[in-house]
A and B are shown apart, each in its own frame.
Chain A
Amino acid sequence: METTNKFSMTVLSRSANESFVRACVAAFAAQLDPTLEEISDIKTAVSEAITNCIVHAYKEGAGKIYITGELTDNNMLRLKIRDKGCGIENIEKAMEPLFTTVGGERAGLGFAVMQSFMDSVRVRSVKDKGTTVSMTKKISPRFKLNG
């Protein structure tokens, strides 16, 4: 399995960047000729990961969010979204559906959405150092007339 394309970008943890980053990732993933549903799934998962950096990791102030994407020759999209924020103490607990450390208007479903809409989601985190969310999604090859 070989990497066929790559990008990386860094944005400040401003909420206006939620739509900016998911649009960028969608445009990058478009090279794999995904369906509209696959594009929506990717945008939603990216939006969850970026929002978590803004709402949780850097709740005390602005910081940088590092995003990298890779395409591989087996039609796979790999994404990494990394922050240098507060970190997650108990990752297993954080990934449980409906678990949230912010009451009120948050549902606690961000990780559940990522897991449901991508093929794999891996979270690594160190308290006070930051968090990296790695996700992959295979894009189904589409039937093409005469190749």
Chain B
Amino acid sequence: MTTIIEPTVFTEDPFTEAAIADPYPFLERLREAGPVSYLEATGTYAIVGYKEVYEVLMDFETYVSSGGLGPRDIREDDAWRPPSILESDPPIHTVMRRALTGVINPGTVRALREPFTLPAVEIVSELAKLDSFDVVTQLAEKYPIRVFPDAVGLPEEGREHLLPYGNMVFNAFGPENYIYQQAFANGDEHSAVVMKLCARESLDDVGFGSKIWDRVKDGLITEEQAALLVRALLSAGVDTTIFGIGNTLSVLARYPEAWQRLRENPTMAKFAIDEALRVESPFQKFHRTVATDTVLGNVHIPAGSKILVFVGAANRDPQKWGDDAAEFSLDRSSSGHVAFGMGLHQCVGQPIARLEMEIVLQEMLEKFETLELDGAPSPLIHNVLRGFDSIPVKVTPSR
């Protein structure tokens, strides 16, 4: 029999600038409060243990998504937008997911390698003329925005709204604090433009967008759902990958011996990316809603509660990854990390994100003999994503 324990009440707010700018000391203190604790500031439960996070992600009947990924139950309040695939449960989720996986899968993504390579070569070749540059503004923010909208089949016009829109969507997974307010400045305009981009007539005939719309003809999904699925790609597919690229390079800039090993053996790039996603997970945390009274990590959680799932903490849980969990290691098998989620809602865009990151890293490894930090990276203040505004680096070009 498990003994039910009272959760430790943790008084620090996870959504303050200090906890966001330097999340890991904060997460260590939170971990000391146990794998499941109660967050006084937000009235939610914090889940930080790998085992507990995994259980939440697998048990989508007890820990539902239809209450939204933010701290409020979107079924009770007026949500700021119609719910997405991410904010739905079966059976609504089921048809949407079928439509999306039918369109985005390893087969369809493989065809993107060629069109995704040239822009990376161009961007990195320009950087190779410099001794120092900013990984974020001169590379990470440039690359996905060049290749991903093409893959979806978007027109040129309106693309500039994608980044601010993604910023809104993800910040809304946190509380309505000043970070949220800033993200939502001009929100109506960004939403309106992006919604228009999702319409069938805005999309070309070859991209993922039109393939999703084809499923309306089959009768699998409604027109409204098709537009929502295209919107899901546009909101979930840009920022995350930008941070994925930036975070990976920020880690590698701190591990020169790993850079050397990767240059000698560039096929290891994908392992390096996977391990970097584990230690610096771009999507750090999101909420679930508890559908029925439950016990998690010996803590009783009543129905209707919101829980805050710290995937970024699970990915550094020493019980799962060992005492050096916080260290990047090329020799570690990072298989099982939850940076892309797990189970029912596991990231659909995973093969695209991995492809983009791998192409960029391969190109960087080829062009640069060394890559080092040239000053401290400046963390981005964001409610749930982990990334940087700026990562200054010094490089030596390959001879």
A, B bound: no
Residues of B within 8 A of A (CB): none
